[in-house]
Structure 1
Amino acid sequence: MDLATVDKLLTTTRTVRKRLDLMRPVEPEIVQECLEIAIQAPTGGNIPRYHFVVVTDAGKRAELGAIYKRSFFEVYSPERQEETRQSDPRLIDSANYLAERMHEVPVLVVPCVEAPAMAQGAGPGVYGSILPAAWSFMLALRARGLGSAWTTLHIRYEQEAAAILGIPDGIAQAALLPVAYYTGDDFKPAKRVPARERTYWDGWGQTR
């Protein structure tokens, strides 16, 4: 296994918003290929509860985009946007960009999970059957020159989205992933607090 390639994939799979190519079509075959790779991810209890709704229809993308935009601007009020802009102006600008253009992204993917046990407090285990696969999907996209962004704000209006897509009761939506080829050059690792500064051994606050 080529560790350099693997490490580059893991450290440069970024959230892509402004660099999503809204004009270039995405082949359905490449989306399906990435999903087939994604389902090799771990599943909670080794039970395959995952489902994926791939949305390419322009009308449905417009409806989902409208839901996302509404939710985004409810959560990110002008006051909150200004607060965020003070600390990270690039983040809020790119988030706004995607909120205004979600409907223009050529493919939207909604990872879903069978959730009959949610009422019994099985949330973490149930989501363990979809979140690893969704992230693997994003890694597979990145390896093929496509980008995505992890978004969940549309879930504030999950039932509206379910009605648009015909998602039945008992199926929970985990995210809304815009998928497109990306523009520009390669990606770089992000600035992060080093893990060693937040890693504890044998107890909270204990270092090696």
Structure 2
Amino acid sequence: MAVPELTPEELLTTTRSVRKRLDLDRPVAPELIEECLRIALQAPSGSNRQGWHWIVVTDPELRAGIAGYYRKGATAYLAAGGASAAGYEGERAATQARVSDSARYLAENMHRVPVLLIPCLEGDVTQIPPQVQAGFWGSLLPAVWSFMLAARLRGLGTAWTSLHLGYSREVAELLGIPPGYSQGALIPVAHTIGTTFRPAPREPLETVLHHDRW
């Protein structure tokens, strides 16, 4: 499936969290994932340490195991009101309702996603002082975003998820992640159903912009 050529602005504004439009029945060629990861490796990292590692999970049993832990985390999150429309009105409430519905859909179908990507970073985040944790994750998050942008250009959909991290120890054991490495996210990857994505509705810039002071 060819993706229309995108300008940089179109790429940045139409790379969405894809859940219901993931094609759960179409395999993803390993070469596509590796192309995206090579691009991701060009991202900056603190002191150029490049301490990232990438676990590409396609084995059905391993995907099912990861999905089971994700489902537990998502169930608790949604039950607590995460992603709900409560407190919103009008179109924003409708948008949040759709987000909640799609989050539930992904939790129920994560095991069917053909590729699960878990980016890891050297270092145990539980042992890192709070004042430097932003820098720690800053050595991984830009690379993951680069992967997601590269995936969009290749007709692949992704979504940033992290609800499995409540069971990170169990997932580490399942995948053989050694001590001293921290999981940063769980990225489902699949071809998309259709390639047309639009910019999402956002609050006006004026409501979040501050000059010099809050």
Normalising by structure 2, report the TM-score.
0.88
Residues 1:97 and 2:105 aligned together: yes
User: Alignment partner for residue 42 of structure 1, among 27, 41, 44?
Assistant: 44
The percentage of counterpart residues that share the same residue type is 49
SS state at 2:118 partner: strand
Deviation at 1:83, TM superposition (A): 4.8
- Residue 118 (structure 1) shift: 5.3
Structure 2 gap ranges (5+): 1-5
RMSD, matched Cα: 1.8
Which residue in the other structure is 2:3 paired with?
A: none
Superposed counterparts of 1:42-121, under 5 Å: 42-77=44-79, 80=81, 83-84=84-85, 87=93, 88-116=96-124, 119-121=127-129
Q: What secondary structure sits across from 1:80 in the alignment?
A: coil
| Secondary structure, aligned partner of 2:120 | strand
Question: What secondary structure sits across from 2:190 in the alignment?
Answer: strand
Q: How far apart are the structure 2 equivalents of 1:170 and 1:83?
A: 35
Is the CA contact 1:9–1:139 (under 8 Å) kept in the aligned structure 2?
yes
Count of residue pairs the alignment pairs up: 200
- After superposition, give the CA deviation of every residue in 1:122-181 in whole Å (9 maximum; x if it has no partner): 321111111100011000000111000000000000000001110011100000000000
Cα distance between partner residues in 1 of 2:125 and 2:198: 40
Partner in structure 2 of residue 172 of structure 1: 182
Q: Which runs of 5+ in 1 are unaligned?
A: none
Counterpart-to-counterpart distance in 1, 2:43 and 2:83: 38
* CA distance in 1 between partners of 2:197 and 2:59 (Å): 29
Query: Tell me, what secondary structure is at the counterpart of 1:19?
Result: coil
On the 8 A contact 1:21/1:180 being kept in 2, the answer is yes
Equivalent residue number for residue 124 of structure 1: 134
Length-normalised TM-score, structure 1: 0.90
Q: Distance in 2 between matches of 1:179 and 1:109?
A: 7
- Secondary structure in 1 matching 2:81: helix
Distance 2:82 2:42 in 1: 38
Partners of 2:82 and 2:40 in 1: how far apart? 34
Aligned counterparts of 1:111 and 1:76: Cα–Cα separation in 2: 24
State which drifts further: 42-51 or 119-128. Answer: 119-128
**AA paired with 2:67?**
G
Contact 2:155/2:195, CA 8 A, preserved across alignment: no
SS in 2 for 1:111: strand
Pair 81,47 (structure 1): closer, same or farther in 2 beyond 3 Å: closer
The one-letter amino acid paired with 2:187 is L
